[in-house]
Chains A and B, each alone.
Chain A
Amino acid sequence: MRKLLLAIAVVASAGMTEIAQAETKVGAIFDLTGGLNIYGIQQNEALNLAIEDINGHGGLLGQPVKVVSYDAQSELPKYTQYANTAILRDKIDVLFAGLTSSSREALRPVVRKAKLPYFYSSLYEGGACDKETFVTGPSASQQLSVLIDWAVKKYGKKIYIMAPDYNFGSISAHWVHEYAKKLGAEVVGEDFLALSITDYAPTIQKIQSTKPDFVVALPVGANQTGFLEQFAAAGLKKSIGVVSTNYGSGNQQVVVSPAAGEGLIADQGYFMAVDNPANAAFIKLWTAKYGSDTPIVSEAVDTWNAVHLWAEAVKKAGTAESAAVIKALEGGLTFEAPNGTVKLEAGSHHLRQNIYIAEGDAKHSFKIVETFKDVAPSYENEKCDLVAHPDTAEQFTP
């Protein structure tokens, strides 16, 4: 009897160690419930789709990849809690997580300590620089450099800024000031707004009294989307342009009425309207699994790209072990993404990618107006070189 038990134990433990060695585990922490799930659900769906795609093509290192998913519930403390659980208990090989900058800043020290590659897949204010952290969304300077130039040419030189009252808003506003100065344009006014505000009459009056040629509007969350509605209803759209780096990133074009959404300018790293074979294949795969009721947001594509870049690195390194994967990720990886070819910059861990300028139409969607190819994350490249200085761990701000 004892021998039998021993034999079972030996077989079981042998089996377990074999699994632990061969299987690659991906950790995912996104906001599946709570106020941020506009983004989090799609980030998670994109991750699962990418893993299915990889597993459908034979998995990694000869084994299917396993996903461990957590719901951060739009609450910051949950991120660090689940990240620790995923690292210590589930023994994940890579982490994909977070939407807000605060969630990324909370996770950076955790993954640094664990020396675990971490992918942050959302547009953001820029400047994050850390050996383990990789960013697949565009930074504010990446988006605004092309947008302000385009808008000054199209509308004129007087700019008004409407931005949320936290670091995404204030750093974005800083870039608008900087690019305006470079272009000889002028910021005639700015208003920073709390996320809870629902009444935009004061802002709209100030916009009218300063008479800008266009407004850089960066509404975050459902309440701030109301600004666009109220701006349109006041009859200002005829004379003043509206441009944004984040309009559409949470499918705001679906929420606003056609009257308010038509003619709004958004610039991002991805729109569903992007026309290339990779995007067509991606949309086909997506709609087959999730349907076509809700348009795909850019953060979903950022997550899809993140997973595939990581998989490429694992294949290249021949192992999922952290140091080797990070080294492979710094080896100038490129990926044929739905938003065009993206290239992971070795030094800054940010993506060189296309930036699209799109115009809202009357049918709750966008048409691409202009494509800027291979826009570099120039501020991040300038400040952050993790190949030369691997110990850097901070978020640079202009």
Chain B
Amino acid sequence: MGLDYLATVLLSALSSASILLIATIGLAVVFGLMGVINLAHGEFLMIGAYAALTATQHGVPFVLSIPIAVIVTVVIGAIVEMLIINRLYGRLFDTMLATWGLSMVFYQLAVLMFGTVTPGIGMPAYSLHIGRYSLAAYPLLMIFVAAAMMAFVYMLMIRTPYGRKARAAIQVPDMAQAIGIDSRKTNTMTFSIGCGLAGFAGAVLLPIVPATPAMGFAFVIKAFLAVVVAGPVALTGAAIAALGAGGGASVVASFFTSVVGDVFFFSITAALLWLYPQGISAQWRRKM
């Protein structure tokens, strides 16, 4: 076992964790800020992926197809919030049921619109060489994408008036309304931002995970576990959970098998939830 192997293992573990984090951030925003468990999160990822794919098929360069995917998912997210979610605030299980139903509808719509197989767009054929090993460059790029996404959401929620309003509207809704914050509007905004982040994830991960109607399932379980482990400080918590559980699973998979990697992921999340039933960030004094 050489130093080069170790370096590639660490780098790809970091990229695995970043991919998980990219898929999780939208969920973390919606769950962390609104207390809504959006079981259709995976399907918003899928919608983002198909939006980007359709755009590239019409000649739009891949980089420009990503903002298109974000716009599409933000709009659909806003519609869903106004039609369904805002009638169900504070009813955790009802929202879960509603969004679960929604996920089935989106899934079947995708089958009807795009069929069961659609051409992928492939991964840019750049690779990075470390000693005797080569790594695909695009997944490594995801490390920077995840960092940029984190920074964006953090700035948005902490430094902008909207962010302050969004946190106020959820934490003390009556008081927020009393001082003139339109909490309905703010909630619509927050939910659709969460969906937009999912759409961004689906689009940016398209070269790694081909667009299929069922692609949401692949991410959604691990994303949920990361958010639940994260606890109340959703954003920072999710980052640490993704890094620890997702990155750790990747390292374990490199030395044993991928199945052992998965076992590691689920055991560590179970252990963390046993130690911290409210999530790892329950005692933290941070805002996001």
A interface list, Cβ under 8 A from B: 33, 35, 37-38, 41, 165, 191-194, 196-199, 201-206, 208-209, 221-223, 225-226, 229-230, 232-236, 250-252, 254-260, 293-294, 364
Nearest first, the 6 closest Cβ-Cβ pairs linking A and B are: A257-B122, A201-B12, A233-B136, A202-B253, A233-B123, A222-B212
Report the separation of the CA atoms of residues A202 and B12 in the bound assembly, to the nearest whole angstrom: 7
Query: Which stretch (B110-118, B146-154, B184-192, B229-237) binds chain A?
Result: B110-118
Interface residues of B in 2-21 (CB under 8 A from A): 5, 8-9, 12, 15-16, 19
Which single member of B124, B214, B254 contacts A202 (CB below 8 Å)?
Answer: B254
Report the separation of the CA atoms of residues A208 and B2 in the bound assembly, to the nearest whole angstrom: 13
Residue among B121, B124, B134 with the most chain A CB within 10 A?
B134
Q: Which residues of B contact A294 (CB under 8 A)?
A: 115-117
Q: Which residues of A contact B267 (CB under 8 A)?
A: none
Q: Which residues of B contact A226 (CB under 8 A)?
A: 208-210
Query: A199 — nearest CB in chain B belongs to which residue?
Result: B16
- Tell whether, in the assembled complex, residue A255 and residue B12 are in contact, meaning their CB atoms are under 8 Å apart: no
Interface residues of B in 175-221 (CB under 8 A from A): 207-210, 212, 214-215, 217-219, 221
Q: Which residues of B contact A165 (CB under 8 A)?
A: 258-259
13 further interface pairs, Cβ-Cβ under 8 Å (given A201-B135, A255-B118, A255-B210): A33-B111, A192-B257, A194-B259, A196-B221, A198-B209, A199-B15, A204-B136, A226-B209, A230-B123, A232-B122, A232-B125, A252-B117, A257-B119
- The reply on B132 being an interface residue by CB < 8 A is yes
- Given known pairs A206-B254, A233-B138, the reply for A196 and B217 (CB within 8 Å) is yes
Q: Which residues of B contact A202 (CB under 8 A)?
A: 9, 12, 250, 253-254, 258, 261
Report the separation of the CA atoms of residues A38 and B118 in the bound assembly, to the nearest whole angstrom: 11
Instruction: Identify 15 residue pairs between A and B in the complex whose beta-carbon atoms are under 8 Å apart, listed by A's number.
Output: A38-B117, A201-B12, A201-B135, A202-B12, A222-B212, A229-B122, A232-B122, A233-B123, A233-B125, A233-B127, A234-B136, A235-B125, A250-B117, A254-B118, A255-B118
Report the separation of the CA atoms of residues A252 and B120 in the bound assembly, to the nearest whole angstrom: 10
Which single member of B8, B108, B117 contacts A255 (CB below 8 Å)?
Answer: B117
- Tell whether, in the assembled complex, residue A222 and residue B214 are in contact, meaning their CB atoms are under 8 Å apart: yes
- The reply on B144 being an interface residue by CB < 8 A is no
- Given known pairs A201-B12, A226-B208, A226-B209, the reply for A192 and B259 (CB within 8 Å) is yes
Q: How far is the CB of A193 from chain B (nearest CB, A)?
A: 5
- The reply on B89 being an interface residue by CB < 8 A is no
Interface size range on B against A: 35 or more
- Tell whether, in the assembled complex, residue B212 and residue A255 are in contact, meaning their CB atoms are under 8 Å apart: yes
Q: How far is the CB of B279 from chain A (nearest CB, A)?
A: 23
Report the separation of the CA atoms of residues A167 and B16 in the bound assembly, to the nearest whole angstrom: 27
Report the separation of the CA atoms of residues A204 and B121 in the bound assembly, to the nearest whole angstrom: 20
Which single member of B111, B134, B208, B257 contacts A235 (CB below 8 Å)?
Answer: B134
- Tell whether, in the assembled complex, residue A201 and residue B16 are in contact, meaning their CB atoms are under 8 Å apart: yes
Report the separation of the CA atoms of residues A257 and B132 in the bound assembly, to the nearest whole angstrom: 26
Query: B256 — nearest CB in chain A belongs to which residue?
Result: A202
Residue among B120, B124, B218 with the most chain A CB within 10 A?
B120
- Tell whether, in the assembled complex, residue B108 and residue A208 are in contact, meaning their CB atoms are under 8 Å apart: no
Q: How far is the CB of B108 from chain A (nearest CB, A)?
A: 7
- Tell whether, in the assembled complex, residue A37 and residue B111 are in contact, meaning their CB atoms are under 8 Å apart: yes
- Given known pairs A37-B116, A255-B118, A364-B119, the reply for A191 and B258 (CB within 8 Å) is yes
- Tell whether, in the assembled complex, residue B210 and residue A208 are in contact, meaning their CB atoms are under 8 Å apart: no
- The reply on B139 being an interface residue by CB < 8 A is yes
- Tell whether, in the assembled complex, residue B123 and residue A232 are in contact, meaning their CB atoms are under 8 Å apart: yes
- Given known pairs A223-B218, A230-B139, the reply for A257 and B258 (CB within 8 Å) is no
Residue among A194, A230, A293 with the most chain B CB within 10 A?
A230
> Binding site of A, secondary structure by majority: helix, strand, loop or mixed?
helix
Q: Which residues of B contact A259 (CB under 8 A)?
A: 122, 125
Q: How far is the CB of A231 from chain B (nearest CB, A)?
A: 9
Report the separation of the CA atoms of residues A223 and B208 in the bound assembly, to the nearest whole angstrom: 9
Q: Which residues of B contact A250 (CB under 8 A)?
A: 117
Residue among B123, B124, B132, B207 with the most chain A CB within 10 A?
B123
- Tell whether, in the assembled complex, residue A35 and residue B214 are in contact, meaning their CB atoms are under 8 Å apart: yes
Which single member of B9, B118, B122 contacts A205 (CB below 8 Å)?
Answer: B9
Query: A37 — nearest CB in chain B belongs to which residue?
Result: B116
- Tell whether, in the assembled complex, residue A256 and residue B262 are in contact, meaning their CB atoms are under 8 Å apart: no
Q: How far is the CB of A169 from chain B (nearest CB, A)?
A: 11
- The reply on B284 being an interface residue by CB < 8 A is no
- The reply on B133 being an interface residue by CB < 8 A is yes
- Tell whether, in the assembled complex, residue B208 and residue A203 are in contact, meaning their CB atoms are under 8 Å apart: no
Query: B12 — nearest CB in chain A belongs to which residue?
Result: A201
- Tell whether, in the assembled complex, residue B120 and residue A255 are in contact, meaning their CB atoms are under 8 Å apart: yes
Report the separation of the CA atoms of residues A257 and B138 in the bound assembly, to the nearest whole angstrom: 15
- Given known pairs A33-B111, A229-B210, A235-B134, the reply for A255 and B19 (CB within 8 Å) is no
Q: How far is the CB of A230 from chain B (nearest CB, A)?
A: 6
Q: How far is the CB of B124 from chain A (nearest CB, A)?
A: 7
- Tell whether, in the assembled complex, residue B125 and residue A229 are in contact, meaning their CB atoms are under 8 Å apart: no
Report the separation of the CA atoms of residues A125 and B21 in the bound assembly, to the nearest whole angstrom: 37
Which single member of B207, B221, B250 contacts A201 (CB below 8 Å)?
Answer: B250
Residue among B116, B207, B209 with the most chain A CB within 10 A?
B116
Q: Which residues of B contact A230 (CB under 8 A)?
A: 123, 136, 139, 208
Q: How far is the CB of A217 from chain B (nearest CB, A)?
A: 14
Report the separation of the CA atoms of residues A35 and B135 in the bound assembly, to the nearest whole angstrom: 30
Q: Which residues of A contact B116 (CB under 8 A)?
A: 37-38, 41, 251, 294
Report the separation of the CA atoms of residues A234 and B129 in the bound assembly, to the nearest whole angstrom: 9
Q: Which residues of B contact A251 (CB under 8 A)?
A: 116-117
Q: How far is the CB of A251 from chain B (nearest CB, A)?
A: 5
Q: Which residues of B contact A208 (CB under 8 A)?
A: 132-134
- Tell whether, in the assembled complex, residue B127 and residue A234 are in contact, meaning their CB atoms are under 8 Å apart: yes
Interface residues of B in 68-95 (CB under 8 A from A): none
Report the separation of the CA atoms of residues A126 and B258 in the bound assembly, to the nearest whole angstrom: 25
